[in-house]
Structure formats: structure tokens, C-alpha cells
A and B are shown apart, each in its own frame.
Chain A
Amino acid sequence: MAKKSKSTDPALSDATADATATPRANRSIGSQATRDKTLAKILDLGKSVAKSALAETDPFVDVPTRTMSNTSYNETRRLLQMGDATLRRNLFNTGQARKFMQTVLLSKGCKDLLEAKKTLSLRGMYYMSLHSIKGTKEKTFDDQEESDGILEDIEVAIATLRENLHLFAKKRGTMVGNITVVDNGDSIDCRRMGTGGYAIPSICEPSVVQFGKCEAKFVLHVEKDTVWSRFNEDRFWETHNCILTEGSGQPPRGVRRLLYRLNKELGLPIYCLLDCDPWGHYIYSVIKQGSINLAFESERMAIPDAKYLGIRSGDFVRCGLSDDVKISLNDRDIERAKQIAEYPWFVKKKHWQKEIQQMIRNGFKMEVESLITKDISYVTEVYVPERMKAKDWID
């Protein structure tokens, strides 16, 4: 029932429209047209189930597989794309019956939500569909994680986006800098956000967030809040005329979508300051090429031009850091690092191969905070400016 090809879907191409696209009215809560489209897709899913049931056959939902094996790297577009492989989820299969039930149940939840013209957090949707199954003590979901996974399945199965289902994730990520944004009609001056910064919303579609006046010349994205605070306190964005964002680790969809739009719509280059470990490398990989899990969203999120500023494995020597900052790599780290080195979008990049090799040779990882051992503001006053000036980053 599900259309498999993402790129031809109008909802998606709307969303990925280029920077000059005119923002439409209140799309997060749903333009009637999009909502009708989404509702029609849910109805299709339901009809297919009902039809199989009445024909006394085994009802199923085809869910595109969200695994490494079903993603491919598009070298010309430089981003991850989801393949055509789907996994058939049957009702009459002991291993899938529960998931099938959850899929139908959440589809119904989304339908109700769309019809109510309201939005809900993922957690809200989890609670909305949570109850005990009649006659048993079994609950429809064990935890929110279970429901979140199924919602992603529904997203890909009916080829829509979470935003179109009126769902949003927990807010994560912060922004500050020389830019003014309009969030749901409210003008927000990101130069005057105090110490807390502007909380990047989960839904950063043009319908919700529009860009106003922007002087910034680039975006510096740092891994986490602590480092971001350092930069904010030192007014780095002011002195270097930029935008400062953070994604609390692996950036959520909202942050990635915002970075993508800053890059695409305003033409700002994105620089990433992440930890020198496989985790940091993967964050960069996701920002740049898209994630394996959400490969279907790469086109509207991946920023192939994003640059990796640091921390680099050579910085230990270059910056003269003390042994105290070393965190040894464990077996899992090494394995993960090797995996990342094998990713098709890294495998041909000599700099990255060298970088990962050296990290493994070093036998230790380093966090951005390790630079604080040099001086409290070493990272903002010396490290980043020097790298930027020397254009010393890896791509």
C-alpha cells in the first residue's frame, strides 16, 4: 500500500523546496491539503488491513527497512538515500503480531490527531495509544521507545513525515547569534537570548520558523550544551559574526532541519566542533550525509558541505595537552571507529582515513572540554579562530 519512492512524493518535494520557497500558512498544524493527503494515506493502510481481513488472508504492512543494508550513498548528491527494500510486517507471525497491532493502533492515533487538528509530542502519542489489551494484563506498549519506533515505521510505510502526522519530539538544541527568526509569528532576536539561548523547536519547517534579518557569515555547531555555554559567554558569535548552535549530542531532527535551512536558504557554511571520538565522528556524518535510520529524510536534512573543525586527533600534540585529558578507547570504540572508516562516504576521503587511523593509533579519545585544561577560553579565543583562519578543517 505504501508508495516506496520518496523523491517523487509531493509532500516531500514541497518540504525540500529550495531556500527561496515562500513560507506557507501554519503548516505544522497542517494545511488542510497536506492533512487530507496524510489522512488518505492512513486510510489506505487501514483499508488494506480490512480488505485482507475480510478476505481471510494474512494482513500486512510493508515497512521500508531502515538499516545500513537498505541505504546507499549517492555520490553525486553526497547524501545517504534509502533503498527499495521493505520488510513485510504480518499479523500472523508470532514475532510480528504485536508490532503489527501497534502499527494499526498508532495509525488510528495519528488519524484522530490529524482530525482534531492538534499536535502531540511522541510521548503524548504514546500515552494516547497506551492501554491494557482487553482480557489480559498486557499493555499495548511497554515504553515510549517502542511507540517511537513504530511511529517511524508508519512515517516510512505511508511515505510521509513526522511533521505531517502532527508529531514532534522533545525539544533539544539551542541557538544564539546574529540572526532574527520568526517562530510561529513571534519575532525572536537571537542576539538577545541571554545565557540560555533560543531553544530550537522540534518542528523547524518553513511554515513554523522563518528567517528574518541575518548578518552572520557562518554557523558553528558544537556538540553539547556545556561547550556552547562557553562560546556564548565569550560572545564568540558577536566577535566572529556567526550563529552558534548545539544539538545535545546527536542533533535531533529539528536542529538538523534548521542547520540545513540555514545552509540552503541563507547560504551559511556549517562548521562542526565535536569530540574526537567515534561518537563525534558519527554526529558529523549524520549532519553531513544523513542518518541510516532516517535516510528517507536525508534530502531535507543532510548538509554535504558541512565541515569538521575539530577536535582532531593531532590536537593533543599540536595544542600541547596534558596526559590527563586522554580517555582510552575501548574495544567497542575501536570497532565503531573502523566501521565508520568503512562508510562509503568516508572511505575515499584520505583526511578522514588518516584522522581515524591516528585516533586508533593514539589509543585515546578527547572531548572538546579537554581544551579547557590549556585555558578557560582557549577554545573560543585560540583554537577555533586559528582553525578558521587557517581553513584547517576536514571535509
Chain B
Amino acid sequence: MDASNETDLQKSSPRRRGATAEEMSEKQREISVSEFFAKNRHLLGFDNPRKALMTAVKEAVDNALDACEEAGILPHIYVELLQRSETRFKVTVRDNGPGIVRKQIENIFGRLLYGSKFHRLKMSRGQQGIGISAAGMYGLMTTGQPVLIISKTHKKKPAVEVLLKMDTSKNRADVVSETEHPEDDGLFAEGHGTQVSIELEGRYQQGRQSVDEYLDQTAIANPHAHFTFVNPSNETIEFKRGTNEHPPEAKEILPHPKGIELGTLIQMIERTQRQQIGGFLQEEFSRVSPSVSKEICERAGITNRTWIKQIGHKEAEGIYKAIQEVRIMAPPTDCLVPIGTKALLSGLLKEVKAEFFTACTRPADVYRGNPFLIEVGLAFGGELPKDELIRVIRFANRVPLLYQQAACASFKAVLETSWKNYGVSQSRGSLPDGPVVVMVHMASVWVPFTSESKEAIADYDEIRKEMKLALQEVGRKLGIYLRRRQRMRHEGERRSIFERYIGEIAQATEAITGTSAKKIYDSLLRVAQRKTAEADAVLDNEGKRIQDADPFKKDDSVVILPSRVAKIGKGAEDAVDGDGGSKKSSGSSGTLFGEEEASSSEARASATRAPKKR
């Protein structure tokens, strides 16, 4: 564009001595992706020291979880933050995954946009292959220290330790040193795994958008994973498993024709190995049957047998248009792996100290040809703060999203839900307020983020609609619970009213009639208890008398912890049981659905099990 500008200027004004095209061409050269990102590190989530620290941990943990899941291993991830100086930290993340073969180490940790996940449509945490290498690059830039990777692929094989230094201009890493560890170095108890250590400039601060919050939320969305976190004060925090069930492995799918843009289509045509257009359409897309491909081709004015070589830009455009017009079956949705209502609940249960939990998994839907699925969990009451706005925690493919809440489709969906209907107060245009945590999870083969740093989900109508439907479902259940709780409270009050006056009545009646006050009191007390019990049953469910007072008895998606419900009546306000207040020492336990850890923390475990199961 500079060149054209200059020619314009030539005509209108005398030329100032400037660079010639030849001189300029000397300065023009390819920009490596890594150079670009080195300069624009905020795009990847390294805007400030605090966020950089969180992002580095996040990228490493996401990779570790993906690797474990693909290998079918229940993840145990160890995260350590070592404070080297005021602003310098060493982040170490170790997993029990399959390890990485030696020759791929440089590529995975040293190159941007290198990865297994970009070119396929499969649900995974990472998408672009930027994250961990960007973290390493950030570390190198801010501290000059290379990235240390230790990987062990088999019990019988030695671990390899590699020190990597990124070369941003070449988007490639140089190996600084390479050593072999003895077979049993004590790092990998299960005989395989990967450890990555990055030294970087950062700031550690607890609270919102911190490493702690990230791990906290990751533990909610990944109840099958165990996290051990050693913070800079050298305190160990355990996030134990809530379930021992593996999430099923996600299937890879082919792109759906409706989700493809023209440019991508042309590119695919250029690269395909197929000879004829029919084969190309049927083999490289999902849901294209011979008849569908025939219809597409006919509409585009070609046939199934047209040679790929003959497809030019015009034909490609015809095909693209035809695709939009033809009815094609929605993409398969079995490629999506929801966290699942059960696992979601167990995740919330172990990390959120609330009294009421519910969750909902929506059936899959499609946006732009990409299948996706929404899950929502909700926790209410207990120790959650009462006078604050509700907390929305967001996840995409089980990864917590901590930044840019307001830009996220899930946040908008929460805003647009009329919480008042469910007994939660909400002022116009803001989040509702009350002791509520809402978690929204989007699972998809391709999550549409608003930026590379993956902080907010783009606002597609289809996505927002599904989110709202899920929110409404959990909202309804909360509403039922709140009404019931209100009723219980009234019943408690009623009982206490009767019991309060019975004594007076008994004594006065004795004074009038001479009948023993004790007898009258005891009889009246029995009536009081019976009356309130009757009222309990009668009052249930819009005046309809039903035997079962618990509307959630057969509902697997709801868990209530009566021990956390503020005590009713008798003036004991907000008496919440004091179990396991600090997560510090033991983390929380309560394996609602798992078999292990039967011994640990009886109180909580029994509390979590008692109400719903059985």
C-alpha cells in the first residue's frame, strides 16, 4: 500500500528524498509467527505479570490433561510455583501422561502453531498449538532462561531431560543441553509422564483470576483429575478426585460442509489427494452421502465425476453456493464428550461449599457446521456469600475461562435469563444477586473464542440459545428448591409458634379447670407435631397432596446437603456446620461417586452421600 500512496503523492507535490522501492525491498522480509507473537504477547494472555503466571500454568496443565485423556490415564497433575525473586517465578508442571518421544520435544515446546489439534476436528482443550510454546517464549524473553523438559515414555526407558531455547526468528527451538536420567529418577511414579519448567516474570496473588482460581475451577470441570499445588509459600493444596470414571475419549470428525468457508474449501480442493469431486466431497466431509454430493454437483453445474483438476475458482464458488442450498444432515454429535451431569455435580460438590447443587447437560446442537453442547451446573446457599452478585464460572472444553467475562456468550446468557422467576433477585441489566455459583461449560470440536488467548466464547445465536435453555432448566430446579426451603422455614416457624404458646395455654387452662397442665401440654404438643406434619404434606406442590415430600427424590441431577442448610427456627440464624472450612490442609474430599477414599473425612463424605443417593 505504501507504493501506491507514493505514486499519488508524486503528482501532487514535489518529492522528498525517500527510499526507493529497491531500498525498501531490502527491509521487507517474512515475519515469523513467533516474532509476531513475541511482540503481541497480550494476544496469547501474557499481558501482565499476574496473568502471565496464570496463563503459563494453564497452558501446561491443559496440555497435560489432554495428553492423559488421549492416553486413557486418570490424570494426576503436580503444579509448583517457586518464587525466585520478587517478580520471578519458576513454574513446574508434571503429569503422569504418556510422555513425549524425544524427537517431538523441540517441536511441541519450541514452535508456535505446531500441534496435533489444529488440523483435526476433535474436542480437546488445546486448539491451535500455541499455548505452551508461547509460555516458554515469554519465559525466555523475560528472564533469559530456557525451558526445561523432562519426559519419560516408559517404565523401562530412561527419562530425557532437554533444555530448550526458542529462536523467535526461525520459529524453532535450539537444544541447549540434553541429558538422560537414570531409569528410576523418582519423578514419575507411574513410569511415564512429562514435566515442564519455565522460569518467567510474574506476580503471584490469590483471589480472582489467580492460579488458585484456575486450578479450583479446573478441578470442578475435571473431577476425574487429581491436582497437587505447591504455592510460593510452600503450602501444599490437594484437589482430590471426585470420580474415578474416565471421561470417554472424544472422537475425531470430518468438517461439516455447512461450516466451511469458501477460502477453506478452495484450499481443501487444492490439497486433496482425490481425483474426482464426488469422492472429495464424500471422503473429506462428514454427512455427505453419494446422493448429497450428486445434488451439490448438479446445482453447481458439474457432476460427481468432474476431475478435481478442472475445478477452478468459479466452480469452487458454485460448489460453495450449492452447499448452502442443499439440505445436509447435521454433523454427528457423538464426537462430543460432555462432563456429564453426574461428574459435574461431583466436581461442584468437592470444590463449592453450597447446600444445593444441580446440573444439566443439553443435547448437542450445531453452530456453523460445528457440533457443540452446553452444560450448566448451579450451586446455591451454604457458605456462599449472600450479599454479592452471583458468580459465573465459565468453561470451554473443560478449561476455565477467567478473563473477559462480559464479552462471553455464557455471561450474556446468564444476564438474559429471568432469575426472578426462580426466586433469585436480579436488577435490570445486571447479574442476579444471591449465594449462587453458576457454571457454564461449552464442549465443541471447535470452540469459537473471541481471541487467541481463549478468554471468551463468541456470541453465536445457537450457542447462546442452548446456554439459556440449560440455565432455565437448572433455574427451575433452584426455584423448586427455594420454594420448598421457604416452606420448610415456614413450617419450622409454625411449629415453634405453636410450641411457644402451648405452655401458656396449659397453665391457664389448669388454673381455670384444674386439669393437669402437664397432661394438657403433652397432648397439645403431640397435636402440634401432627398438625405441622400434616401441613407439610398438604402444602407440597401447589396444594396437591402428595406423599413424597421430596420433589427431587428421583432426580439424579440434584444434590442437597442438609448439613449446610442454615438451621431453621429456634433463632439459630445461619448456623452452618463448620466442617472442612479451609481447603488448605486437606482440600475437600467427599467422593460422591467414586469408590476410593472411603476412609477419609467421614463427615463430609457421609454428608454428600446421605441425601440423594440410595
Contacts and interface: CB of A to CB of B under 8 A. Distances in A.
Interface of A: 42-43, 45-47, 49-50, 53-59, 91-92, 94, 97-98, 100-101, 104-105, 107-108, 111-112, 133-136, 138, 140
29 contacts: A42-B512, A46-B513, A49-B513, A49-B520, A50-B509, A53-B505, A53-B506, A53-B509, A53-B520, A54-B520, A59-B524, A91-B498, A91-B502, A91-B524, A92-B498, A94-B494, A94-B497, A97-B498, A100-B501, A101-B501, A101-B504, A104-B504, A107-B508, A108-B511, A111-B512, A112-B511, A133-B501, A135-B500, A138-B500
A104 B500 contact: no
* Highest count of chain B CB atoms <10 Å: which of A49, A57, A112: A49
A111 B519 CA distance: 21
A54 B497 contact: no
A136 B500 contact: yes
Interface of B: 493-494, 497-498, 500-506, 508-509, 511-513, 515, 519-520, 523-524, 526-528, 530-531
Given A53-B520, A54-B523, A140 B512 contact: no
B512 A43 contact: yes
B513 A56 contact: no
Given A56-B527, A92-B527, A92-B531, A133 B505 contact: no
Given A54-B520, A56-B530, A135-B500, 15 more contacts: A45-B512, A47-B512, A49-B505, A50-B515, A53-B523, A92-B531, A94-B497, A97-B498, A98-B497, A98-B501, A101-B501, A112-B511, A133-B503, A136-B500, A138-B500
Q: Which 10 A-B pairs have the closest CB atoms?
A: A46-B512, A101-B501, A108-B508, A50-B515, A46-B513, A104-B508, A53-B520, A92-B531, A108-B511, A53-B523
A98 B494 CA distance: 11
Given A50-B513, A53-B509, A91-B505, A97 B497 contact: yes
Interface residue SS majority, chain B: helix
A167 to B, nearest CB: 17
The secondary structure that dominates the A interface is helix
Contacts of B497: 94, 97-98
Contact of A133 (B500, B519, B524, B530): B500
A101 B519 CA distance: 17
Interface centre among A45, A97, A138 (most CB of B within 10 A): A97
Nearest to B519: A54
Nearest to B531: A92
Contacts of B493: 94
Contacts of A107: 508, 512
A105 B500 contact: no
Contacts of B498: 91-92, 97
A330 to B, nearest CB: 37
A138 B498 CA distance: 13
B520 A92 contact: no
Nearest to B506: A53
B499 to A, nearest CB: 9
Given A58-B527, A104-B509, A91 B501 contact: yes
A86 B497 CA distance: 24
A60 to B, nearest CB: 12
